[in-house]
Chain A
Amino acid sequence: MKKIIYVLAVVLLVVSSCKEKKTTNKKLNQVQNEVKEHNHGDHEHGSKSEVKMTDIKQNKTRNIATTPILNTYFQIKNALVESNKTEAAKEAKLLLTAFNKLDTAKLNESKRKEYKEIVENAMEQAEHIIKSPIEHQREHFEVLSEDITDLITLLGTEKTIYLDFCPMANNNKGAYWLSEIKEIKNPYFGEKMPTCGSIKKQIN
């Protein structure tokens, strides 16, 4: 009987603590919603400055700050070329770290806003690459490639890189990717079609 009373006491405790947590959660949600509503206006504004893949403007800044991000991105790309899911996931984890380390103190306000949107989206793609099967990894890599390209357009790079395009990827809608080498090595199909694609642009 004593035991039963103990158990009841514990369960009651759990129940009451749950209740407390719920109310704080609710408050937090409210605050978050308010913040979101507040930000709503500038979001739309910032997106207007977005650059399309096809009309990439060259950013002449020889920025070394973006190098770790690019290098990790290329590792993901190379892992996908070899259809190595585990390696791609490992590198995607490193990409998250690289993003977190990037110093944005020098960016002006409008740039920082676009930067924030790019990084937020890119990190979400990286998180999916970490936990997904390879077909999904490739889909998210396509979006990630767009984000990284826009990041380079925004911030510049010291590296010589190539923007490659394969018209058959993405269900024949075509997809871009960035490469550190001139030779075409397609990350979207693995062994099935390793050389589909062409260089659309050389940066630096």
Chain B
Amino acid sequence: MITKNKLKKGVLILFAAFLLMQFIPKKYNESGQIEKTDIFKIYKAPQTVQNKIKTSCYDCHSNHTKYPWYNKIQPIALFLENHINEGKEELNFSEFGNYSKRKKKSKLKSIRSQIEKNEMPLKTYTFIHKEAILSKNDKTEILQWMDRILKDL
């Protein structure tokens, strides 16, 4: 039997836990300066392509996340942190220059195909970040740029 008293206690505990969670330190994925190994330091790209990729991909695939306001709240911040770490492990545009030629090539191929098939940026991401949606023109421009790099690699 759940008495009113017990219920009250439960809610109180949950609330206290939530409050305390706010003390969990947040680790920000913001390295400050653009790395020497950033993909745009290695390969020349039209400004439009640079801007588009930075808006649509860099939050999870670089050392430079632009955080939304709700990152102030735990446990959302923890969730985002994990998500970003996963994304960076798969592909990090800030460290692209550190990749071997072989890895650069296979990463570019994967990026290319995922953009072409609308698998990236993730639907769950573009649902909130409308500005990250790639239009048909954006995609063509990005893919053409990637093909140029791939041809020289």
Given A4-B12, A7-B16, A12-B20, check contact A117 B102 (CB 8 Å).
Answer: yes
Chain B stretch 94-112: residues in CB contact (< 8 A) with chain A: 95, 97-103, 106, 109-110
Interfacial chain B residues near A4, Cβ < 8 Å: 9, 12-13, 16
* Interface residue? A118 (CB, 8 A): yes
C-alpha spacing A151/B20, complex, angstroms: 54
Within 8 Å by CB of A22, from B27, B102, B106, lies B27
A143 near B25 with CB under 8 A, answer: no
- A165: shortest Cβ distance to chain B, in Å? 17
A121 near B102 with CB under 8 A, answer: yes
Q: What's the A-B contact tally at a CB cutoff of 8 Å? A: 64
* Interface residue? B37 (CB, 8 A): yes
Measured CB to CB, the nearest residue on chain B to A25 is B27
Given A39-B98, A121-B100, check contact A8 B23 (CB 8 Å).
Answer: no
* Interface residue? B34 (CB, 8 A): no
C-alpha spacing A125/B12, complex, angstroms: 49
Given contacts A11-B16, A43-B98, A50-B102, 20 further A-B contacts (CB under 8 A): A3-B9, A3-B13, A4-B13, A7-B17, A11-B17, A15-B20, A15-B21, A40-B37, A40-B98, A43-B100, A44-B101, A46-B100, A47-B100, A50-B101, A117-B100, A117-B102, A120-B100, A121-B102, A124-B106, A139-B110
- Residue of A25, A44, A118, A143 with highest tally of chain B CB at under 10 A: A143
Measured CB to CB, the nearest residue on chain B to A113 is B100
Q: B16-35 interface mask toward A, CB cutoff 8 Å, 1 = contact, 0 = none?
A: 11001101110100000000
Interfacial chain A residues near B16, Cβ < 8 Å: 4, 7-8, 11
A18 near B102 with CB under 8 A, answer: no
C-alpha spacing A118/B106, complex, angstroms: 11
* Interface residue? B113 (CB, 8 A): yes
Q: How many residues of B contact A (CB 8 A)?
A: 24
Within 8 Å by CB of A143, from B21, B27, B109, lies B109
Interfacial chain B residues near A91, Cβ < 8 Å: none
B24 near A121 with CB under 8 A, answer: no
Interfacial chain A residues near B24, Cβ < 8 Å: 15, 18
Interfacial chain B residues near A164, Cβ < 8 Å: none
Interfacial chain A residues near B109, Cβ < 8 Å: 139, 143
C-alpha spacing A15/B21, complex, angstroms: 7
Interfacial chain B residues near A143, Cβ < 8 Å: 106, 109
* Interface residue? A19 (CB, 8 A): yes
C-alpha spacing A4/B9, complex, angstroms: 8
- B62: shortest Cβ distance to chain A, in Å? 14
A8 near B98 with CB under 8 A, answer: no
C-alpha spacing A108/B142, complex, angstroms: 40
- A88: shortest Cβ distance to chain B, in Å? 17
